[in-house]
Structure 1
């Protein structure tokens, strides 16, 4: 664990004054879910509207010529990618996933290896693909004690066309820190490795430089990027999936390759683009990302701040200051390695606790029997004390 005397960075509530003042009696402890939006995103949203009003049809010259490349560059810097051209944006990760799978050029069913702990954007679609015969799905238990060894062994069999797995699991907070070993198996002809980084991007330091030429990485702005919906992205390694079947006309913006008289595609990540979209999410993504960089709020710094608060919260829970939460099993206690930005507390009463806390103005969330508490740069020790006080009164 982090040492108890580790100094916390000063909580930056000033950067979130509008969201915090909008509901002054709310205690938002779910930064891992709908992260509060920083003040700069309002200005970004207004800028998107004003550009539409002033530029009208020509707003796309700015949206695609300035805002989009700026968003790509933010992702590339955060993940240490060799080029921002490997990043493509979409309204949500589901659309990116469907487009990516459509690019696998082999007879059905596509053989997929994954886990029983993936988020619903993959879980539901994968189940439906199984029903329709599109894929054959092998699942590894994400909560098995030897999960990493089981998953890597299954991947090494060579029996799969697509390997899809989370870097940080959304329910338990387990960090699969060996996920990058899968890059050794990836080939343009298959298998493809897709890492769901939604709970890793801007949550724990992530450097893809060594694997960027072999691994897909999908994430977005809704959580720790602090930008809200509409700004999901995919890093697509060059040469993997040159011609997705699910394709929009934006994928033909640029120099095209393809059969004579056929459908052409650009060769960078734009080959995965769809069609007309709402660009305001990208404006917010850029606004929030530039704010983080300007304020020196690096991912390591924010992660250390959140981790110290997690340790403080767990100490108080163990001491009985949070009442019944002492009975919960902590699925992801802080250790020596990377730490999810939320604590996962398992208890049969987790759902009842969530609703009781909501009635008191405290926002947490539940996945099955797991209560999740997410902390960020707008939290401080006083918030931990207040949270425990409410919990003690349940």
Structure 2
């Protein structure tokens, strides 16, 4: 009952600018590009104002105030022991490249799945072609995936294990990932968890494993901050000297052999170089907005779960058109669920186009239609979605 009440009180007021920008649009792709809340507009203006007023001195504010505030927000959300284990970059690809460069062995023996997001999929495939890594993939949609992946990871033949917490295509949640942390050592193997579709979507507590795994995510999706605020949690002692290293990694407390390249002792060892800081302003502002309004991850998840339940009920009653013909890959249950529902159907791409013609924005991955929910949706929006499905699919 609590979840249903929350579903009937969407916080559209927090997204008034984005919603007013296209009043006809029904945005059901929050899992892909989340609409920006009004708080980020003010943050963007503040970033410009700081650059205008402070000029060269703006970096003292960015690195002395905004950056630590963003680190603290991540640490709080993930229950990390220290905010110093968090490093930001413009995108997760930059962090992935730096992270992989820190492992001394080549070729690097990597275990992953065939369901990883493109920032890893493409780069890993190219590294494999170049002989930089030996890549082993486990099928992410196999019925016995969790057992199979865990078994292969425990074989002891890999230097690095990379896996998603929530798979971007299917929405399946792989909570067993945290158990693999018991395998890790600074000398290898390492565990890297892609948390982008889980951060601020599925409650995540890393307190017990933060010293044994890497966690990669960012602000583009459920953190509601847009691009430019990707981050990595890097456990102390793992990868102290990345080969790919920007000059920002020279700041603060350095360690290293005299005359050699020095590195920061904290996660800043993975820092790159000059970046656009406006994403961090937005990241902090969006997180502050959620906190000030009591919108914790469990609260927002309950709101979304109620809306998902409403859609599925409408489908069972025949009021969502042909959507009921699709196979739901991630049906909600007792465990934490993704913020989107993934529907497999041969006509998924055509359905997405048909919905777009009716001003309903979804997205499609191969033959999977993804319908995502957020704080700016209410029960009436689900009714509009079902009406569009009835008339368009």
Bin for the TM-score computed over the shorter chain: over 0.9
TM-score scaled by structure 2? 0.98
Once the two structures are superposed, residues 36-87 of structure 1 have per-residue CA deviations (whole angstroms, 9 ceiling, x without a partner) of 0000100000000010000000000001100000000000000000000000
Q: Determine the structure 2 residue equivalent to 1:248.
A: 246
**Distance in 1 of aligned mates of 2:2 and 2:102:** 50
Matched, 1:233 2:260: no
SS of 1:193's partner is strand
Secondary structure at 1:7's aligned position in 2?
helix
- The 8 Å contact of residues 4 and 303 in structure 2, kept in 1 or not, is answered as no
Matches within 5 A, 1:35-46: 35-46=34-45
Give RMSD over aligned pairs. Answer: 1.0
Mapped pair 1:130 → 2:128? yes
Q: Which of 296, 299, 302 is 1:298 aligned to?
A: 296
Q: Which residue of structure 2 aligns with residue 180 of structure 1?
A: 178
Aligned partners of 2:76 and 2:227: how far apart in 1? Answer: 21
Instruction: Decide which of 221, 224, 227 is 1:223's aligned counterpart.
Output: 221
Q: Secondary structure at the match of 2:255?
A: coil
Q: 2:365 aligns with which of 355, 364, 367?
A: 367
Matches within 5 A, 1:43-58: 43-58=42-57
Match runs of 1:105-254 below 5 Å: 105-106=104-105, 108-254=106-252
5 Å-filtered alignment, 1:263-274, equals 263-274=261-272
Match of 2:352 in 1: 354
Q: Which residue of structure 1 aligns with residue 381 of structure 2?
A: 383
1:234 is paired with a residue of what secondary structure? strand
Distance 1:12 1:307 in 2: 15
Runs of 5+ consecutive residues of structure 1 not aligned to the other structure: none
CA contact (8 A) 1:351 1:369 kept: yes
- Please give the secondary structure, in 1, of the residue aligned with 2:134: strand
CA distance in 2, matches of 1:39, 1:7: 24
Task: Report the Cα distance in structure 2 between the residues aligned to 1:260 and 1:201, rounded to whole angstroms.
Answer: 40
Deviation at 1:201, TM superposition (A): 0.3
In structure 1, what is the Cα distance between the partners aligned to 2:320 and 2:17?
29
Match of 1:30 in 2: 29
* Structure 2 residues without counterparts, runs of 5 or longer: none
> Displacement of 1:8 after TM fit?
2.4
**SS of 1:178's equivalent?**
helix
The question of 1:83 aligning with 2:82 is answered yes
Q: Distance in 1 between matches of 2:272 and 2:55?
A: 21
User: How far 1:260 moved relative to its partner?
Assistant: 1.3
- The residue that corresponds to 1:93 in the other structure is 92
Return structure 1 stretches of 4+ with deviation > 6 angstroms.
Answer: none
Is contact 1:236–1:269 with CA below 8 Å preserved after alignment?
A: yes
Aligned to 2:6: 8
Q: Give the C-alpha shift of residue 301 in structure 1.
A: 0.3
Contact 1:4 1:312 in 2 (8 A): no
Indicate the SS of the match to 1:168: coil
> What is residue 339 of structure 1 aligned with on the other side?
337
Cα separation, partners in 2 of 1:157 and 1:233, compared to 1, 3 Å: same
Aligned to 1:323: 321
Whether 1:286 aligns to 2:266 is no
Contact kept? 2:3, 2:303, Cα under 8 Å: no
Alpha-carbon distance in 1 for matches of 2:315, 2:221: 25
Structure 1's 134 and 369: CA in aligned 2 closer, same or farther, altered over 3 A?
same
What do residues 327-380 of structure 1 show as CA deviations (whole Å, max 9, x unaligned)?
000111110101000000000000001111111111000000000000011100
* Alignment CA distance shift 1:5-1:339 (3 Å): closer
Residue of structure 1 equivalent to 2:390 = 392
Q: TM-score, normalised by structure 1?
A: 0.98
Give the counterpart of 1:262 among 236, 260, 263. 260
* Cα deviation code 1:21-42 (max 9, x no counterpart): 0000100011111000000100
Displacement of 1:7 in angstroms is 2.8
Shift of 1:161: 0.4
